[in-house]
Structure 1
Amino acid sequence: MHEAPPAGPLPYYEDPSPGTGALPPRAWWAHSDARRVNLGGAWRFRLSASAGAEDESFARPGFDASRWDVLPVPCHWPLQGHGMPAYTNVRYPFPVDPPHVPTENPTGDHLRHFDLPDDWPGGAAVLRFDGVESCARVWLNGAELGVFKGSRLPAEFEVGELLRPRGNVLAVRVHQWSSGSYLEDQDMWWLPGIFRDVTLIERPEGSVTDFFVHCGYDHTNGLGTLRVDCEPRGTVTVPELGLDIPTGEPVIVPVEPWSAEVPRLYDAELATEGERIPLRIGFRTVAVEDGVLKVNGRRILLRGVNRHEFDPDHGRTVDPETMRRDVLLMKRHNINAVRTSHYPPQPAFLELCDELGLWVLDECDLETHGFEEVGWRGNPVDDERWTPALLDRAARMVERDKNHPSVIMWSLGNECGTGRGLSAMAAWIRERDAVRPIHYEGDLSSADVDVYSRMYADHAECERIGRREEHPLEDAALDARRRAMPFVLCEYGHAMGNGPGGLGEYQAIFHAHERCQGGFVWEWIDHGLRRRTADGRSYFAYGGDFGEELHDGNFVCDGLLFPDRTPSPGLVELKKVVEPVRIEADARRGTVTVTNLHDFADLSGLSFGWVYEEGGEVSDEGRLKVPALAPGESAVVELPLMPRATGRGEALWTVRAVLAEDTAWAPAGHEVAWSQFAVDPVVRGARSVARPGKPHAPRRAEGGMVVLGPGVFDASTGVLRYFNGIQVTGPALDVWRAPIDNDRGMDWYPQGQLDRQWRASGLHRMRHRVVRVTVGGDTLTVVTRVAPAASDLGLRTVSTWSSTGDRLTVAVDVTPEGEWTLPLPRLGLRMGVCPTMDQVDWFGGGPGEAYPDTRAASRIGRYRSDVDALQTPYVRPQENGARADVRWAELRRVDGSGLRIDGTPPFWMTLRPWSTEELDAAEHTHDLVPSGTLWVHLDHALHGVGSHACGPEVLPEFRLAAAPATFAFTFTALGDPGAPLHTLPEPS
């Protein structure tokens, strides 16, 4: 029997403490007259399998690293061919044995040789790391500087006495796993490396050690208060305000306030004896008053997103151009707020939020979600050994970001359970910054915070919270305190795959209840890593694609942007749902009511226009005079008198609000809001399809066929085989869709997973039994029972075919049989046609896809596309591409021949170069290969999409219940190409 050796001191990478040697945290500033040297670029790199595989000799000057690999810094080494990425959402990819980590601990040694600029003055200097995952040990010219953790937080070291004019050697040892890894379980790729900037900064005698800009605004009198605390003391000048004041002394002056809608900044300068720092100052006051979160005295509504830092080629290494692109995309899609999930972003991102205008919920680099897997035993946030590390992370966030007006709340972290460490963090933050409210979602008691926050609360619960009638806490005092708080959904609208649905219904709750102040859609971008197949086709990889022993699949792809930053249909839908101007029509009176939903901006920056269309063609257009309404105000505006309809088709008004002039985030003419309404609202009930001309009588033909007008049918099955000489497959009743991520639901709630239930019920393998084919009079009637094996459920379908002229019409009646408890995925007809008919014109909803609970952004018009462009490239293939409210569609070949389809009532159209079965089987986009058939889905109804991959199920009103249904389609052969189409502008 062998006894375990006595436990010795923990190695530095397992020690729960935050590290050693670093300077106290301080504010970040982008520029000053002190010199800087960017140490990014080509570094020498060596990867070892464990923390102790190599000694420390590499850190000594003169070490020969010429045979090492070359690595670009900043980067993540697994994305440079050294090891592999790994994705988990909750589970730690190592044993939960805090603070210990496995011996198999990939360790990257980095070397950088550099010379100082010729005019470097010498003296004090700071070496700054903006982000290293997860633990770094640093040497300069052979001298050890220290150790730090906190991957997405800065660390600085004093290095002035160690610097040489030539031949400096910077050595950094980075461990993938450390005690810090237990605090960084943040639902993203595990990607070690030096992934943010490394900078050498001169610190002249008398330079700024730290400063804190305090800017308040009194909305009652328009006065701003400015005080800049600085060490050492200096002066602050604000030329536009005529200010030249000593630091530490307050001054009150008339100012224009800063807000996310009107991001007014004043250029200023902070000067001490040794340094001058340019500042951009924004005056604003944040407060919770009367149970409402207010800025500058006004309730704000957060139209927000959660943003991880991500690039499909570089991981969390994001360049300034990409950050600016993110902010511009947010602004152009009516987003006004960002939660920096789940760590502080690169500081330059916050500068962009200051400049362009976004509210920011700044979140600490902290999540211990994996402890939930073990019943929260050993959770660091309730273990005093870890409290210094927690306080260190809070301080490094607050000190770095305290001078940004865009930051209106601090968040303690995400999904850490509860514990004394969180209370200590909240107390420290309040002591340091008493102005900004504190957020944390994981403690339902809200004991340490100023804002009640939840994630994925469904609509009904949000309604109750809005009325301050939520489920009570046992502690009466805590319950009363929480009910007095504003409410924010820190995560909602889970944007995984096709979705999220139900956004408009959430927004209605936010407008109805003062307490409900919006939230942050999860999340901004899919974290798919770009890869290529052997034949060069690009696709995006997700969890499990790199051989991980534990992974959470494509749950890492749940964003409003695809990995290449192409907006998804979900982002287009969100833009429409949260638009800051409401336009409501009274068509019979010929008026529209315009309401300003901004919190601060009036409507003087917008111009309004109208378009009157008939049959999708513009009859007239013009400007609409709307007053410069203040926030919350409404005005009734008359539309121009229009002549009677010409009979060219359905008459529609569209009213648009666009930018009147160029702004910093979008050009003049950019669409902000719109509304469309019919002069005579379309009746959605089934109507008979017009059949001009004399009806054809069906006749039997050779080969067991029945001919009816341009259609040739199989006499025994009643299936259409040819139309106008073109071979077709079907149409047949179809109820199956390739399940979306939201159908797959949450693994921890299997009874709510529709995918499993649908498959268990056999809806993916429905069989058709022909009950009767009747030929008589001027119709061909086919009665079919559509049902799954091993079940007595069925759909009795009566298809009545008729023909007049060159048209062929089918009227379909569906009656459910049996006790249906599940919703149907879809209900309609599927048919296969020649794939050369790949040019599509349609009159109906567009330009993008829509589903019953994601159709707010779909507007009626005449559109043209090819079939390929109708596909939505979700990272994991799934049901996609439906167009709503289609009146008619024309499928054409290049020569103009093809097929026209009219529907009664308007229908959902989906066109694909592959079958539903092939779409269902695909795991990545490169698995989808055209099958030689164009599959045409003509759906009477679709089941909604919801957000049940992590959020609520489909709302009851969007569930497709198995119920009697009647619908009809008319098919017409096409010869010559149609006239040019007028297409409404696609939202930017």
Structure 2
Amino acid sequence: MHEPEPSAAVPYYEDMAPGTGALPPRAWWPASDARRVGLGGAWRFRLSATAQAEDDSFARPGYDAARWDVLPVPSHWPLQGYGQPAYTNVRYPFPVDPPYVPTENPTGDHLRTFDLPDDWPGGAAVLRFEGVDSCARVWLNGTELGTFKGSRLPVEFEVGELLRPQQNVLAVRVHQWSSGSYLEDQDMWWLPGIFREVTLIERPEGAVTDFFVHCGYDHTTGTGTLRVDCEPGGTVTVPELGLDIPTGEPVIVPVEPWSAELPRLYDAELATEGERIPLRIGFRTVAVEDGVLKVNGRRIAFRGVNRHEFDPDHGRALDQETMRDDLLLMKQHNINAVRTSHYPPHPAFLDLCDELGMWVIDECDLETHGFEEVGWRGNPVADERWTPALLDRAARMVERDKNHPSVVMWSLGNECGTGAGLSAMASWIRERDPARPIHYEGDLSCADVDVYSRMYADHAESELIGRRAEPPLADAESDKRRRNMPFILCEYAHAMGNGPGGLAEYQRIFDTYERCQGGFVWEWIDHGLRRRTADGTAYFAYGGDFGEELHDGNFVCDGLLFPDRTPSPGLVEYKKVIEPVRIAGDVGRGQVTVTNRHDFADLSGLAFSWTYEVAGVAGDSGRFTVPLTGPGQSAVLDLPPMPRSPAEGEAWWTVRAVLAEDTAWAPAGHEVAWAQFPAAQRGPGGLGAADRVHGGAPHAPRLAEGGMVVLGPGTFDAATGALRYLAGAPLEAPRLDVWRAPTDNDRGMPWFPDSQLDRQWRESGLHRMRHRVVRVAVGGDTLTVTTRVAAAAADNALLTVYTWSAAGDRLHLDVAVTPEGEWRLPLPRLGVRMGLCPTLDSVEWYGGGPGEAYPDSRTAARVGRWRASVEELQTPYVRPQENGARPDVRWSELRRADGSGLRIEGAPAYWLTARPWSTEALDAARHTTDLVREETLWVHLDHALHGLGSASCGPLTLPGDRLEAAPAAFSFTFVPLEATWCVPPGVEQ
């Protein structure tokens, strides 16, 4: 890389400096008695291919832009039909040649004409931009105001003397690429535009220039300290506390503290000679003490998510309703913390975090990850010429967000390597706001921070860190300092596609070790952009769908929400894993232990109930009276005597904790936590008397015409032993199946070959197994079929013996599998697959549900009797992959609309998956619209499944959840529910 040219020769968009002309950064407040004019709406727009294709004459008053297009602001112009979005994770989509950017630099000229309100008082005013990507030059009424970078940070210009009563012309030139782009490589869509609000704000004489609310809480005395620094001076009133005090003077009063669980806010007002600003004050103190992060004197545990701002139609241009919806979903799923990856969010989001209660790590608009591709050469954080830009970004974040009680840590940025620029940022922040700890993950020495933060440390390493027994740093002093820090996983459990697995095991570590204070799942939402096929069918696009020369595929779809904000099974699992109340049953003693895992709240806001079920049928129910149970405390409750029930089968207790009253984030009755545990069994197994379909006398197999063998309701091919008809209806015979459409986590990471199970499985031929019939034997009451299942070019195999028998209308299958040869890889699945009539579109089952589950992602599955359509059993991952398994199924019934169908019982309990398309079709699909309903319903009856893990960017599947090739035996019983339960195509009924 060559040295940049002298600054005079470098255009403003390639200058390393943050910009020109802007006012000093200050706090954000959403309202005051000063006038505001929102300048959003329809703007005139012109897109050019380069930064210098057009001169600046468009900014002059009187310029005729009538032929320009119209563009909504806020928005991203690629999402309005101008150019295309592009996605990369790490790699810059332009040559790494800082601070220069390509000549091909899409540039959008924006024009807005506006009038002032009739009662606009005149005088000073500021023009505020909340967010523009990535660099802008601004004129008002022909006068240049300045330039700025820092896409997700605000900037203000003084404009009072330039304003006219009518026909004000605001002109903004926005460049997609700038020197600032090197600081904004944040694993997201590259989307230029004015994507946050533009506002004109009156600044009356004596108006507030800036203010800083200092609110501490002393947990030993129950008092809060309040001091509001303000320029110019004024007064602060807090009516509820009886306060009317001058700014700059501290006061100590008894208060209720603010926390994410109990977000107590006090309404206040800041008044100066020229302005009155409503405030919402929360008293809380954050500190690292004795190696533990504490708020208000108590250790806190982050049950968090990383949150990009995203909407499938509008990109990062979010409205406040969407922000609130996000937070409501988080609260409803027991999430208590957000890391604002990897930039400060819209400021209104933090107001909502204050109101609803959320711990926030506020992260600076900074990531230089693409420099890793070139060995970190030229990394801006290690080049002092970039330090002014870094300090500018730190100041704009801290000054904007400093008055939010929800913000408990500042983060310097993400994946920037190391360098003196980060140290300069940390020093500035610490001097400006010593009351908040500092976070940064990318420096293992933790030289500039107050917490030890890691990404994707696996379970074993996290446990070592919890014990403060991690491998030492070379420098003894640095090692001692880091070892005495609290530990958080700022990213873990990569939620890409089907997964993540292993959440419960991480939570055990967080609950066990004081030092391990939780983490933040990557991430909140899939960034799929909504598109439609020619026939209007909607789907979600990802990297590569827009013709990018470099892209990272669907790695942008790695969230707990689907792009349309539908919760994924991963979010449902996370809710269960992190539930703040633990319920454990001791049936022998007839007791339930309830443990309060909240950090601050007692259990008085919850109502507890029990339900008793037999064989999935609800019986008695009732309520518990729970004594006052503070955070960290437990209460032991007595179960009622086991109710009498006429049914036989498995009996289960279910205990639920729900909201006792409406809250700001969910209505009364919303379930917060639950547990299920077996009671004494009534009768045989999970098949109650009402559930069992009785058979009859055993059948002997007999030869029939056409080379067939008839055994009870089954008709078999005499040569191959394959089941061809069941109760007269054709089907695809059950046969051993070991393949699944690989998940994103099976595909693993390009930089970690051992994680790429998909590649290894394919190289081993598991997706193309062949079945050789070794022997078909008819004898006594059974038909026995021996097969060898193996892949071409391989000598290892699975010797599989199918033993068929029948009694009455019941057809029974025993399967025995014996591995032969050397198996070095886990199997994707082990079970049988069969094809049935597609009109069987309703499924009822007794087992785990209601949603999908896998061996390391099944905490949220509860035993019950469930019903769903085949369509409802599918999980629409943005990139189609293995999905939809239901665990621990004792029996299932697949039915048509008229009630006819097939019942399948299993011993032991099995994993049930039913799909209107084959595994092969699922494997080949890139988008949900590629999946087309077939003429066969494909049913998987699995004895075992390989776990999920989160190896798309995290740990492999844990050893206990790997499906190793080993001898296995399992059985199924098939019972037609009507004499003719399916009519073959082309046959009249």
TM-score band, normalised by shorter chain? over 0.9
Q: What is the aligned partner in structure 2 of residue 724 from structure 1?
A: 727
> Does the residue aligned with 1:280 lie in a helix, a strand or coil?
strand
Pair 1:665–1:892, CA change in 2 (3 A) = same
The residue correspondences of 1:496-575 to structure 2 (distance < 5 A) are 496-575=496-575
Q: Are the counterparts in 2 of residues 59 and 141 from structure 1 also a CA contact under 8 Å?
A: yes
Show CA shifts across 1:458-493 (max 9, x none): 000000000001111111000000000000000001
Match of 2:428 in 1: 428
Match of 1:773 in 2: 776
**For residue 708 of structure 1, what is the aligned residue in structure 2?**
711
Separation in structure 1 between the aligned mates of residue 973 and residue 504 of structure 2, nearest angstrom: 34
What is the deviation of 1:751? 2.8
**Structure 1 residues 363 and 681 mapped into 2: Cα distance closer, same or farther (>3 Å)?**
farther
1:477 partner amino acid: E
- Alignment match, 2:955: 952
Q: Which amino acid aligns with 1:88?
A: T
Deviation at 1:676, TM superposition (A): 0.4
- Mapped to 2, the partners of 1:235 and 1:697 lie a distance apart of 95
In structure 1, how many angstroms separate the alpha carbons of the residues matched to 2:496 and 2:306? 13
| Counterpart-to-counterpart distance in 2, 1:185 and 1:758 | 33
Q: How does 1:781-860 map to 2 (within 5 A)?
A: 781-860=784-863
Question: How far does the alpha carbon of each residue in 1:10-38 deviate from its partner, in whole angstroms, 9 at most, with x for none?
Answer: 10000000000000000000000000000
Contact 1:710–1:808 (8 Å) recurs in 2 = yes
CA separation of 1:632 and 1:215: change in aligned 2, threshold 3 A: same
Q: Distance in 1 between matches of 2:149 and 2:869?
A: 52
Which one-letter code corresponds to 1:275 in the other structure? Answer: E
Other structure's SS at 1:748 match:
coil
For these two proteins, the number of residue pairs brought into alignment is: 974
Unaligned runs of 5+ in 1: 979-988
- Matching residue of 2:307: 307
CA distance in 1, matches of 2:153, 2:860: 39
Identity %: 80
Q: Tell me the alpha carbon deviations over residues 97-149 of structure 1, each in whole angstroms, 9 at most, x when there is no partner.
A: 00000000000000000000000000000000000000000000000000000
Deviation at 1:200, TM superposition (A): 0.2
- Report whether the alignment pairs 1:970 with 2:964: no
Deviations 1:387-446 (A, max 9, x none): 000000000000000000000000000000000000000000000000100000000000
Distance of 1:976 and 1:238 partners within structure 2: 77
Question: In structure 1, how many angstroms separate the alpha carbons of the residues matched to 2:684 and 2:345?
Answer: 49
Q: Distance in 2 between matches of 1:5 and 1:514?
A: 52
Paired residue secondary structure (1:427): helix
Instruction: State how far apart, in whole Å, the 2-side matches of 1:95 and 1:488 are.
Output: 35
Q: TM-score, normalised by structure 2?
A: 0.97
After superposition, the Cα gap between the structure-2 partners of 1:99 and 1:703, relative to the gap in structure 1 and judged at 3 Å, is same
Structure 1 residues 683 and 513: CA distance shift in structure 2, 3 A:
farther
1: CA distance between counterparts of 2:562 and 2:191?
A: 20
| C-alpha deviation, 1:923, in angstroms | 0.3
Matching residue of 1:748: 751
Q: Using the alignment, how far apart are the partners of 2:322 and 2:891 within structure 1?
A: 41
The answer to whether the 8 Å contact 1:45/1:110 transfers is: yes
Q: Deviations over 1:738-770 (max 9, x none)?
A: 000000000011232000000000000000011
Q: Helix, strand or coil for the counterpart of 1:344?
A: coil
The answer to whether the 8 A contact 2:728-2:980 is kept is: no
Give me the whole-angstrom Cα distance separating, in 2, the residues matched to 1:752 and 1:536.
38
Match of 1:275 in 2: 275
Q: Report the Cα distance in structure 1 between the residues aligned to 2:142 and 2:643, rounded to whole angstroms.
A: 86
Q: How does 1:112-261 map to 2 (within 5 A)?
A: 112-261=112-261
2:870 maps to which of 867, 886, 889: 867
Alignment of 1:606-625 (within 5 A): 606-625=606-625
Q: Secondary structure at the match of 2:123?
A: coil
Look up the match of 2:58: 58
Q: Is the Cα–Cα contact under 8 Å of residues 596 and 632 in structure 1 kept in the other structure?
A: yes
SS of 1:940 mapped into structure 2:
strand
Give the Cα–Cα distance (whole angstroms) in 2 for the partners of residues 523 and 333 of structure 1: 14
1:471 and 2:471 aligned: yes
Structure-2 separation of matches of 1:628 and 1:568: 35
Please state whether the residue corresponding to 2:109 is helix, strand or coil.
strand
Tell me the equivalent position of 1:461. Answer: 461
Moved more, 925-934 or 748-757: 748-757
1:680 to partner: Cα distance: 4.0
Given that residues 650 and 685 in structure 2 are in contact (C-alpha distance below 8 angstroms), is that contact kept between their aligned partners in structure 1?
A: no
Structure 1 segments of 4+ aligned residues over 2 angstroms from their partners = 4-8, 643-649, 680-687, 689-693, 975-978
In structure 1, the residue matched to 2:984 is none
Residue deviations 1:576-632, cap 9 Å, x none? 000000000111221110000000000000000000001111110010111120000
Q: Secondary structure at the match of 1:497?
A: coil
Between stretches 623-632 and 689-698, larger displacement belongs to 689-698
The secondary structure found in structure 2 opposite 1:703 is coil
* Rounded Cα–Cα distance in structure 2 between residues aligned with 1:8 and 1:352: 44
Report the alpha carbon displacement of residue 650 of structure 1 after superposing the two structures with TM: 1.3
Query: Which amino acid letter does the alignment assign opposite residue 86 of structure 1?
Result: A
- TM-score where L is the length of structure 1: 0.97
Query: Is 1:93 matched with 2:93?
Result: yes
Q: Is the 8 A contact 1:686 1:905 kept in 2?
A: no
1:891 has 2:894 as partner: yes
What residue ranges of structure 2 are gaps of 5+ in the alignment? Answer: 982-989
1:372-391 maps to which residues of 2 (within 5 A)?
372-391=372-391
Amino acid at match of 1:870: L
Is the 8 Å Cα contact of residues 686 and 967 (structure 1) preserved in structure 2? no
What's the CA shift for 1:685? 12
Aligned to 1:334: 334
Deviations 1:784-835 (A, max 9, x none): 1111110011001111101011000001111110111100000000000000
Instruction: After superposition, give the CA deviation of every residue in 1:487-512 in whole Å (9 maximum; x if it has no partner).
Output: 00000010000000000000000000
Query: Partner residue of 2:604?
Result: 604
Seen in structure 2, the aligned counterparts of structure 1 residues 894 and 5 have a Cα distance that, compared at 3 Å, is closer
Counterpart secondary structure, 1:91: coil
Shift of 1:682: 12
Equivalents in 1 of 2:642, 2:452: separation in Å?
51
Describe the SS at the equivalent of 2:481.
Answer: helix
In structure 2, what is the equivalent of residue 981 of structure 1? none
- RMSD value, Cα: 1.6
Instruction: Kindly indicate whether residue 775 of structure 2 is the aligned counterpart of residue 762 of structure 1.
Output: no
CA contact (8 A) 2:771 2:788 kept: yes
Larger mean CA deviation between 638-647 and 103-112 belongs to 638-647
How far apart are the structure 1 equivalents of 2:829 and 2:6?
Answer: 66
Distance 1:562 1:619 in 2: 36
Q: CA deviation at 1:649?
A: 2.2
The alpha carbon displacement at 1:644 in A equals 4.7
